[in-house]
């Protein structure tokens, strides 16, 4: 396993999508701010997500999504999350296959970043298809090659973001350094109180 390039793998896009904050379809955690105004034009989180991850799409791909496409993107995000939450290998396989059923893989060799590598989606596919296929294939590849236990949910209190564990000894428990240090401080304070 090449730990150096692992982080740039398409699985990171999948994790980002699963943890994306959604405006209308509801965030998955309890910290959603209900005072945010509803966008009458439809969900804006999805095209905003695509723009923030524009490097994953073929240059020139239209990154605007219809409200209907945004709902589909949310379903894909939920499926990624379901794979990470699954507690058994059999359940991981079921959830992965649900996700893969939405993918339209078309392997494509490119060196757009200087390195020869494969993309999973047809370069001319619409943004939603590129997103779904890249996420489904990237996630499946990591699970198949490195084990389903590599995906998890953050152990920090009040955070339920998912992560992919790229550590050498598979010891990760938090979604981010922020959550890890927050939990360390909380545990330290709890010990001092006791």
For the bound state, the minimum distance from the C-beta of residue 183 to Zn ion, rounded and expressed in Å, comes to: 8
Phi, psi of 122 (to 5 degrees): -60, 130
Residue 156 interacts with Zn ion (CB under 5 A): yes or no: yes
SS3 55: helix
CB closer to Zn ion, 129 vs 161? 161
What is the distance between the alpha carbons of residues 83 and 96, in angstroms, rounded to a whole number?
A: 6
For the bound state, the minimum distance from the C-beta of residue 151 to Zn ion, rounded and expressed in Å, comes to: 14
Residue 154 interacts with Zn ion (CB under 5 A): yes or no: yes
134, 56 contact by CB (below 8 A): yes
Name 177's Cβ contacts closer than 8 Å, sequence gap at least 6.
Answer: none
Residue 131 interacts with Zn ion (CB under 5 A): yes or no: no
Q: Which of 13, 139, 142, 175 binds Zn ion (CB under 5 A)?
A: 175
Of residues 47, 43, 31, the one with CA closest to residue 154? 31
CA atoms within 13 A on the CB side of 1: 18
For the bound state, the minimum distance from the C-beta of residue 98 to Zn ion, rounded and expressed in Å, comes to: 25
Binding mask 84-123 for Zn ion (x = CB under 5 A): ----------------------------------------
Residues forming contacts to Zn ion in the complex (CB under 5 A) are 154, 156, 159, 161, 175, 179
């Amino acid at each position: 396993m090449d730990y150096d390039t692992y982080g740039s793998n398409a699985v990171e896009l999948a994790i980002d999508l699963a943890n994306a904050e959604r405006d209308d379809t509801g965030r998955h955690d309890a910290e959603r701010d209900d005072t945010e105004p509803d966008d009458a034009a439809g969900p804006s989180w999805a095209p905003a997500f695509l723009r923030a991850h524009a490097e994953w799409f073929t240059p020139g791909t239209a990154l605007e999504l219809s409200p209907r496409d945004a709902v589909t993107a949310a379903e894909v995000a939920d499926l990624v999350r379901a794979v990470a939450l699954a507690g058994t290998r059999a359940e991981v396989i079921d959830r992965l296959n649900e996700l893969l059923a939405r993918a339209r893989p078309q392997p494509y060799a490119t060196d757009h970043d200087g390195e020869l590598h494969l993309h999973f989606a047809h370069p001319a596919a619409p943004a939603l298809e590129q997103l779904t296929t890249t996420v489904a294939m990237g996630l499946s590849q990591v699970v198949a090659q490195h084990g389903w236990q590599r995906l998890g949910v953050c152990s920090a209190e009040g955070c339920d973001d998912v992560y992919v564990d790229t550590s050498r000894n598979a010891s990760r428990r938090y979604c981010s350094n922020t959550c890890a240090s927050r939990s360390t401080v909380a545990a330290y304070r709890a010990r001092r109180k006791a």
